[in-house]
């Protein structure tokens, strides 16, 4: 099984491009949402660590945001509880799809958390900052302080770009993106 990891900036279109390859996709952000919605054990751990903020189950995004805004160290407390759960889900995903030709890993902190393997194919999604910012501002619960804190957890984009095997320019136009995806897919599957 070929592991293809999609990396890039927050809001660059990684999840969209992940789907275009036509392989099973592990989307870490979606898995985190499911954990917040369904994992009572995770809620209890977060409630113990952040009792002033994490009050209700399912966990509300607003509660998490308040905790992060109040103290930027809280993001590490949250990650220390949630990331092991995501890793378990990734392990199950890989086991379930081990007979597939390839899988796509859409994991924002893949390199930072050393989840990647040496043989993984890294694809960097390159988007213009202006377009990314425009898209981010449309997101519900958009908060520039939290965005900066999340970016501070990530490797600089230049390092990610240098580590990538391929770069796909995302101009947010499906036709040109599909051409790039098909070309990269063809090269990978040779």
121 and 73 in a common domain = no
Co-location of 63 and 138 in the same domain: no
SS3 content of the chain, % helix, strand, coil (to 5): 55, 15, 35
* DSSP 8-class letter at 165: S
Respond yes or no on whether the N-terminal peptide bond of residue 133 is cis (omega within 30° of 0).
Answer: no
Percentage of the chain modeled with pLDDT above 90: 69
- Please say whether the beta carbons of 40 and 57 come within 8 A: yes
Clarify whether residues 67 and 137 are in a common domain. no
DSSP 8-state class, residue 59 = P
> Taking CA 169 as the corner, what is the angle to CA 183 and CA 175, rounded to the nearest 5 degrees?
60
In this predicted model, what pLDDT tens digit does every residue of 2-50 receive, in sequence order? 999 999 998 899 999 999 999 999 999 999 999 999 999 999 999 999 9
Q: Are residues 81 and 106 in the same domain?
A: no
Do residues 79 and 167 both lie within one domain? no
Structurally, how many domains does the chain consist of? Answer: 2
| 104 and 178 part of one domain | yes
The CATH number of the domain holding residue 129 is 3.40.50.300
10 Å Cβ neighbour count for 85?
A: 17
Provide the b/e sequence for 54-77 (b: ≥16 CB within 10 Å). beebebeeebbeebbeeeeebbeb
Domain of 123, in residue numbers = 1-24+100-190
Which residues is 5 bridged to in the sheet? Answer: 105, 122
Across the strands, what pairs with 106? 27
Same domain, 17 and 106: yes
pTM for this model (two decimals):
0.89
For residue 136, name the pLDDT band (cuts at 50, 70, 90). confident
**Least confident range of 24-33, 138-147, 156-165:** 138-147
Say if residue 117 is in the same domain as residue 88: no
Residues 141 and 89 in one domain: no
Task: Please write the tens of the pLDDT for every residue from 70-84.
Answer: 888 999 999 999 999
Domain boundary among 45, 63, 96: 96
- Residue 173 banded pLDDT, cuts 50, 70, 90: confident
Domain co-membership, 188 together with 110: yes
Can you tell me the distance from the alpha carbon of 117 to that of 163, in angstroms, rounded to the nearest whole number? 12
Please tell me the predicted confidence (pLDDT) of residue 174. 82
Please tell me the distance from the alpha carbon of residue 119 to that of residue 3, in angstroms, as a whole number: 8
* Whether residues 37 and 75 fall in one domain: yes
Of 46, 72, 96, the position where a domain reaches its end is: 96
Structural contact between residues 3 and 120, judged by C-beta atoms closer than 8 angstroms: yes
Q: Are residues 136 and 63 in the same domain?
A: no
């Amino acid at each position: 099984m070929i592991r293809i990891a999609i990396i890039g900036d927050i809001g660059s279109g990684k999840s969209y491009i992940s789907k275009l390859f036509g392989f099973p996709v592990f989307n870490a952000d979606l898995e985190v949402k499911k954990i917040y919605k369904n994992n009572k054990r995770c809620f209890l751990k977060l409630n113990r660590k952040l009792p002033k903020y994490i009050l209700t189950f399912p966990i509300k995004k607003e509660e998490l945001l308040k905790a992060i805004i109040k103290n930027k160290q809280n993001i590490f407390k949250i990650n220390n509880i949630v990331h092991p759960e995501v890793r378990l889900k990734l392990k199950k995903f890989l086991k379930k799809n081990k007979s597939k030709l390839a899988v796509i890993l859409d994991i924002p902190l893949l390199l930072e958390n050393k989840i990647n393997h040496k043989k993984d194919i890294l694809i960097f999604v390159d988007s213009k900052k202006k377009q990314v910012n425009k898209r981010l501002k449309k997101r519900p619960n958009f908060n520039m302080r939290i965005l900066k804190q999340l970016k501070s957890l990530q490797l600089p984009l230049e390092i990610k770009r240098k580590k990538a095997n391929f770069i796909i320019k995302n101009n947010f136009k499906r036709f040109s993106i599909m051409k790039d995806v098909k070309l990269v897919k063809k090269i990978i599957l040779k």
